[in-house]
């Protein structure tokens, strides 16, 4: 059975666009905090102009466009896989519907050929009661089979309808992705041309500023201030995450206590009902024995010709009748027991995602246990080592690895991205927190492929190689820090 594909109404938002808007809204709060943190660092610096700042907007835009294109490519692959799975499911559903329709048609044909004999005709036929009973039972089986088959057919048709809607939604999403890819490619080309023009204008000024010792020192101070503020923010959000965990545990304990209390009250209620039923049973048995004794005494008195006066039983006002539900009519009457009070669980609003977005994603000792085992973040040649002199300037606090532009940069260990923005002196910079106050820092990138709050695993691509921030050569500037202080990564990472 061919399944037609319905066309979505023009302008109807897809599930992808709804989820994308929701994700952007969730990231907005965290981004505001990081932007404020970055502005706070800028307030402590002099207003001296830096030639690389002119490139900031263009280099950040190039990074955003490349990340968007990479995300769109992954979405496109996932959506195509989804469409393939939906097509396979549609074929299976079509075969199921066709088979169910054939079974139903055959059943109706057999019913018609059999003379459409119904139950009333059978009952009035005057035939052998055993045969009538057997035929009625058979008709019941047939009716049940028909009902079951119809129900299955309805479910299959509903599944076909859902499949059509999901297929159309996936096709609409592919259309959205293709349109966004075109926009991002155009944006990328424009920003690359803009950056190239700016570089040609600023090349002499950039060279001169790179030679200034004070600029390098200010860059290091800026990065150190950023790391210090990030550590403080991470500690605050780790505390918020711990508080949220305690709150959830308290709510779970309260729910468990409320459930246990309700179950105990139900058991007590059942026990009280059983005791009352037993009391009433014993009372009825005693009354029955007393009535039997009186009857026996009267019978004996009749035989002997003398009747002993009987002491009348005390008259008691009858208890008001208890109206029973039909289902309880054959049950012994039980004194009414009040139902246990409903226990209302405290409802508290969940913590906002932005409040714990930077909480550590790895346990405190995880990073330290990887010492000497981590792979280099990028394939290339180490051009500057930790501690070596920068001409007349301060010593390197990290390593610089020369690598081809656009090459993928990988996280050296699992953790959470806590910063992913352009920073003066380091261009497009990404920082990963590994727990235990360990951080890895990746600078001068062409593109940042992850956003703040993203959880990454060792080996995940997080950026691509470039020379942003006014750097002369294409490569990666890499640091490791503990409690805000840089340390030699050579004993930790296999370069």
Q: What is the pLDDT of residues 137-192, one digit of tens each?
A: 766 777 787 788 888 888 988 988 999 888 888 888 888 888 888 888 888 888 88
Please tell me the distance from the alpha carbon of residue 93 to that of residue 155, in angstroms, as a whole number: 10
CA distance 367 to 82: 37
Across 423-445, average pLDDT = 94
Return d(Cα 463, Cα 128) in angstroms, integer.
87
Q: What pLDDT is recorded for position 466?
A: 95
| Res. 1: pLDDT tops 80 | no
Sort strands 438-448 and 427-433 into parallel, antiparallel or unpaired. Answer: antiparallel
- pLDDT at position 267: 94
What does the pLDDT read at residue 254? 94
What pLDDT score does 438 carry? Answer: 95
Query: What pLDDT digit, counting tens, does each position of 447-466 carry?
Result: 999 999 899 999 999 999 99
- Region of poorest pLDDT, from 171-175, 177-181, 238-242, 416-420: 238-242
* Top mean-pLDDT range of 96-100, 113-117, 198-202, 490-494: 490-494
Specify the pLDDT at position 26: 65
Tell me which residue has tokens 């009250």.
265
pLDDT, residue 465, reads 97
CA distance 92 to 105: 20
pLDDT value of position 484: 93
Q: What are phi and psi of 347, to 5 degrees?
A: -110, 115
Using the predicted structure, report yes or no on whether residue 44 has a pLDDT greater than 50.
Answer: yes
Report, as an integer, the average pLDDT of 19-46: 68
Cα angle for residues 330, 334, 339 (degrees, 5° grid):
115
Q: Provide the 8-state DSSP code for 17.
A: H
- Other beta carbons within 10 angstroms of residue 375's beta carbon come to 14
Is residue 386 within 8 Å of residue 490, measured between CB atoms? yes
Q: Among 159-163, 198-202, 411-415, which is the least confidently predicted range?
A: 198-202
Q: Which residues pair with 455 in a beta bridge?
A: 416
| Position 327 pLDDT exceeds 50 | no
DSSP 100: H
Categorize the per-residue pLDDT at 331 as very low, low, confident or very high, splitting at 50, 70 and 90: very low
Q: Is the model's pLDDT at 284 over the cut of 80?
A: yes
H or E segment at 135? Answer: helix 129-211
pLDDT given for residue 56 in this prediction: 86
Residue 6 pLDDT level (bands cut at 50, 70, 90) = very low
**Residue 359: how many other CB atoms lie within 10 Å:** 22
- Output 108 or 39, whichever has higher pLDDT: 108
Q: Which residues contact 394 (CB under 8 A, 6 or more apart)?
A: 213, 216, 217, 220
Stretch among 235-239, 341-345, 394-398 having the lowest mean pLDDT: 341-345
pLDDT of residue 2 exceeding 50, the answer is no
Q: Which residue has the tokens 């089979």?
A: 145
Q: Is the dihedral of CA 332, 337, 338, 344 positive or negative?
A: negative
Least confident of 72-86, 194-208, 334-348: 334-348
Query: Are 417 and 362 in contact, with CB atoms under 8 Å apart?
Result: no
Q: What is the mean pLDDT of residues 111-123?
A: 61
Q: How many CB atoms lie within 10 A of CB 324?
A: 11
When mean pLDDT is compared over 199-203, 287-291, 323-327, 438-442, the highest value belongs to 438-442
Predicted pLDDT of residue 273: 94
Contact call for residues 240 and 356 (beta carbons, < 8 A): yes
Q: Flag the least confident range among 86-95, 229-238, 263-272, 337-346.
A: 337-346
Q: Tell me, what's the pLDDT at 349?
A: 53
pLDDT (mean) for 413-431: 94
β-pair type (374-375, 493-494): parallel
What average pLDDT does the segment 470-492 reach? 94
Q: Are 363 and 410 in contact (CB under 8 A)?
A: no
Contact 2, 93 (CB under 8 A): no
Task: Output the pLDDT for position 322.
Answer: 46
How confident is the model at residue 492, as a pLDDT?
A: 96
What does the block give as tokens for 339? 């139902």
Q: What pLDDT is attached to residue 45?
A: 56
- pLDDT number for residue 234: 87
Statement: residue 279 has pLDDT above 90: yes
How large a percentage of the chain has pLDDT more than 70? 75
pLDDT at 50: 64
pLDDT value of position 347: 56
Task: State pLDDT tens for residues 258-270.
Answer: 999 999 999 999 9
HSE-CB of 234 using CA atoms within 13 angstroms: 27
Winning range, highest mean pLDDT, from 26-30, 96-100, 442-446? 442-446
Q: Provide mean pLDDT across the span 92-120.
A: 77
Structure tokens at 108: 């109706």
pLDDT, position 274: 94
Q: Is residue 364 predicted with pLDDT exceeding 90?
A: no
Predicted confidence at residue 282, as pLDDT, reads 93
Give the residue, 412 or 361, on which the prediction is more confident: 412
Mean model confidence pLDDT for the chain: 80
- Residue 269, pLDDT score: 94
CA distance linking residue 215 with residue 149, whole number of Å: 80
Average pLDDT over residues 333-352: 50
């Amino acid at each position: 059975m061919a399944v037609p594909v319905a066309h979505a109404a023009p302008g109807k938002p897809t599930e992808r666009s709804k989820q994308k808007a929701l994700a952007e809204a969730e990231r907005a709060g965290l981004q505001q905090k990081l932007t404020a943190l970055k502005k706070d660092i800028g307030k402590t610096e002099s207003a001296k102009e830096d030639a690389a700042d002119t490139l900031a907007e263009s280099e950040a835009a190039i990074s955003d466009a490349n990340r968007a294109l990479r995300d769109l490519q992954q979405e496109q692959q996932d959506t195509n896989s989804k469409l393939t799975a939906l097509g396979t499911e549609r074929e299976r559903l079509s075969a199921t519907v066709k088979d169910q329709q054939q079974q139903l048609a055959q059943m109706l044909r057999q019913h018609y050929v059999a003379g459409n004999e119904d139950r009333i005709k059978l009952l009035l036929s005057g035939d052998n009661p055993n045969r009538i009973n057997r035929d009625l039972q058979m008709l019941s089986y047939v009716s049940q089979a028909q009902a079951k088959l119809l129900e299955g057919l309805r479910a299959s048709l509903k599944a076909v309808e859902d499949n059509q809607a999901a297929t159309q939604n996936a096709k609409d999403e592919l259309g959205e992705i293709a349109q966004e890819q075109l926009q991002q490619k155009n944006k990328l080309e424009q920003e690359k041309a803009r950056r190239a023009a700016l570089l040609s204008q600023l090349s002499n000024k950039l060279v001169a500023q790179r030679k200034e010792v004070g600029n390098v020192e200010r860059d290091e101070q800026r990065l150190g201030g950023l790391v210090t503020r990030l550590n403080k923010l991470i500690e605050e959000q780790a505390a918020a995450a711990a508080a949220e965990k305690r709150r959830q545990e308290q709510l779970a304990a309260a729910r468990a206590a409320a459930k246990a209390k309700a179950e105990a009250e139900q058991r007590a209620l059942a026990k009280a009902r059983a005791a009352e039923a037993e009391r009433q049973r014993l009372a009825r048995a005693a009354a029955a024995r007393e009535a039997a004794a009186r009857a026996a005494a009267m019978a004996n008195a009749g035989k002997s010709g003398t009747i002993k006066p009987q002491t009348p039983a005390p008259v008691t006002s009858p208890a008001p009748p208890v109206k029973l539900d039909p289902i309880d009519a054959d049950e012994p009457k039980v004194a009414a027991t009040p139902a246990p009070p409903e226990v209302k669980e405290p409802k508290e609003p969940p913590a906002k995602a932005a409040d714990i977005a930077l909480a550590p994603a790895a346990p405190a000792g995880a990073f330290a246990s990887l010492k000497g085992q981590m792979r280099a973040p990028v394939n290339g040649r180490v051009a500057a080592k930790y501690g070596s002199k920068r001409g007349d300037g301060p010593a390197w606090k990290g390593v610089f690895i020369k690598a081809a532009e656009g090459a993928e940069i990988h996280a050296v260990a699992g953790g959470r991205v806590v910063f992913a923005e352009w920073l003066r002196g380091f261009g497009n910079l990404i920082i990963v927190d590994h727990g235990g106050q360990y951080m890895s820092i990746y600078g001068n990138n062409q593109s940042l492929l992850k956003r703040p709050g993203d959880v990454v695993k060792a080996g995940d691509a997080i950026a691509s190689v470039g020379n942003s921030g006014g750097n002369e050569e294409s490569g990666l500037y890499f640091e490791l820090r503990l409690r805000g202080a840089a340390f030699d990564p050579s004993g930790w990472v296999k370069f």
